A and B are shown apart, each in its own frame.
Chain A
Amino acid sequence: MESLRLVGTFLRIGVQTELQYRSNVVFSVLQSLVAVGTSLAVLALVFSHTDSLGGWSGDELLVVMGVYVLMGGVLRSVVQPAMNQLMDDVQHGTLDFVLTKPADSMLLVSIRRIELWQSVDVLVGAGIVGFALSRLDTRPGLLAVLGFVVALALGVVVLWAFWLLLTTAAFWVVRTDSLVELLSGMYQAGRWPVTIYPGWLRIGFTFLVPLAFAITVPAQALTGRLSVWLLLGAAAFTVGLVALTRWVWSVGLRAYSGASA
């Protein structure tokens, strides 16, 4: 409860800060339009040759793309800014201020900076999902939508935990920018459902770079591909990943404070 209040306060101040830079919204919208336009063109090109890709129809893949854009918005507006701030703090020694605060340090580093205007993509992605759903033959029922919401929430947690896990490397390697760059590149693979990738890549995108749980699973919920077991599996994976991140974080802190030396 206290944690929620803390998150709420940081979110409110973060939004206030961003409202000072209203002109950024123009840039974000343009950026979003270009990215979405390119993706749509590729999708149209692929489906001018074929009716389905790995069992997914064009409109179903549009759902995947919508979730991909939406999650990308979450990543760039909430997750990445906080992680960049964390890397900065490790480099400049200002993490000391976070660690001398009577609050959960892992939570605190995750909520200190947002980039509101990047969340334009969340709306654009939701729009694409809505549009794609209107073209599907079988509309998802209430249960499927519920499954989608749960899978989406789990996906956000997975992305956050995974990015934090990698950023924690900053405790040992001071410059992790290139690592994060690499991952942002890999995130692009998420525009396609992981099921269309060959075996080894699919496993990699599921467990190493968990795009499957962040993007494919929510999309599966809306396209009648989600079983209760898959959702439970996603939940179990999320819990496991958060636990792992927490553990690595505490090990990182010990290294930072010299407790292990």
Chain B
Amino acid sequence: MEPAIRVRDLRKTFRVAERDAGLGASVRSLVRRRYREVAAVAGVSFDVAPGEVVGFLGPNGAGKTTTLKMLSGLLHPTGGEVSVLGHVPARREKAYLGRITLVMGNRNQLQWDIPALDSFELNRAVYRIPEPEFRRARDELVELLEIGDLVRKPVRTLSLGERMKAEVAAALLHRPQVLFLDEPTIGLDIGAQKRLRGFVAEYTRRHGASVLLTSHYMADVQALCQRVVVIDKGQVLFDGGLRQLTARFSPHQTITVQLAEPGTDLSAFGAVVEAGEGRVSIQVPKAETSAVAGRLLAAHAVTDLTIEDPPIEDVIEQAFSAGRTA
């Protein structure tokens, strides 16, 4: 199957003016500017299949937003190839823009002083959505997002979570096939994050849309993405399933046991990371997990035993530091 998004050796170099601190340097820079080339994206390649939800992860400044901007046609690549739904995004053809959407969690596009319903009307005109389809899409989104009462109130009176839901609804009225979601849950409380997540999952299931999602909340990624692309310094560090990511970057697992007799020292079995109230967690190399668990059960009176992968945040952290030292 033809991928929905195809990125090959994508590059973006910015030319930034630079000067030293101080008045003298400021004056000198007026006369002669020095420029420095900064490679924000330095050879990124990946595919996203139709209907696939891919997490796009990386620390601040890794090149995520720059890549998203190139995919949505806002920035021209310095090099490499991008094809989304068979279009070259940088050409910004109407036929292309009508099939994608861009949601940025920290910027809003709804007009502040009017109810979201009116902004929906504006998008209907911009995307030339026929009336019956518009009504169907709008009613579906209002129902899925549970914003029936909110869309009639001026946007400025909504809470951040409510506003974000309205933003997402406005961005999906034209039933885009590719969604670029840049930190869609930023600043939302846990409940609102969860509901938005649930919505995205349901929406992509119903309409088979492809999603490229950036988020600092790993819960978003874990709940939605079958696959992640991790980038740092403009380059891909990892592309694959979350499970493989853990296997690759975290060679340890954590065994937590509830002991019948508290106070037992388990440091012989592995590095103790947490101990108290008869509950002890030890970190062991992944290859030895089952052997260590067997020995533990044989040697001590254990009432409960769990084996866990480390939290995904730690794994990602590990991946970045591995990428830096490599």
Contact = CB atoms under 8 A, between A and B. Distances in A.
Contacts, number: 78
A108 B107 CA distance: 18
Contacts of A235: none
A92 interface: yes
Interface string B19-52: 0000000000000000000000000000000000
Interface stretch (B89-97, B271-279, B292-300): B89-97
Contact of A102 (B74, B94, B154): B94
Interface residues of A, number: 26
A23 interface: no
B126 A96 contact: no
Q: Which of B74, B98, B101, B104 has the most CB of A within 10 A?
A: B74
B107 A92 contact: yes
**Is chain B's binding surface mostly helix, strand, loop or mixed?**
mixed
Interface stretch (A9-17, A41-49, A56-64, A240-248): A9-17
Contacts of A6: 125-126
Contact of A257 (B74, B111, B121): B74
Given A13-B114, A258-B14, A96 B102 contact: yes
Contacts of B13: 261
Interface string A1-37: 0100110011001001100100000000000000000
Contact of A13 (B15, B75, B118): B118
B98 A102 contact: yes
B247 interface: no
B216 interface: no
A17 B92 CA distance: 30
Given A10-B122, A13-B121, A17-B113, A100 B15 contact: no
A257 B74 CA distance: 6
Contact of B102 (A10, A100, A257): A100
A257 B75 contact: yes
Given A96-B102, A101-B97, A102-B97, A13 B122 contact: yes
Interface in A84-136: 92-94, 96-97, 99-103, 108, 112
Interface string B63-97: 00000010011111010000000000010101111
A97 B109 contact: yes
A16 B111 CA distance: 12
Contacts of A16: 114, 118
A5 B118 contact: no
B53 interface: no
A228 interface: no
Contacts of A94: 107-109
B246 to A, nearest CB: 34
A259 interface: yes
Contacts of B113: 17, 20
B102 A97 contact: yes
B126 A108 contact: yes
Contacts of A103: 94, 126
Interface of B: 12-15, 69, 72-76, 78, 90, 92, 94-98, 100-102, 104, 107-109, 111, 113-114, 118-119, 121-122, 124-128, 154
Given A2-B128, A97-B102, A102-B126, 5 more contacts: A5-B125, A16-B118, A99-B92, A100-B100, A258-B12
Pairs A-B, 6 closest by C-beta atoms: A9-B125, A102-B94, A102-B97, A259-B76, A97-B109, A102-B98
30 contacts: A9-B121, A9-B122, A9-B124, A13-B118, A17-B118, A92-B107, A94-B109, A96-B72, A96-B74, A96-B104, A96-B107, A97-B107, A97-B109, A100-B72, A100-B100, A101-B97, A101-B126, A101-B127, A102-B98, A102-B126, A102-B128, A103-B94, A108-B126, A257-B74, A257-B75, A257-B76, A258-B12, A258-B14, A261-B15, A261-B78
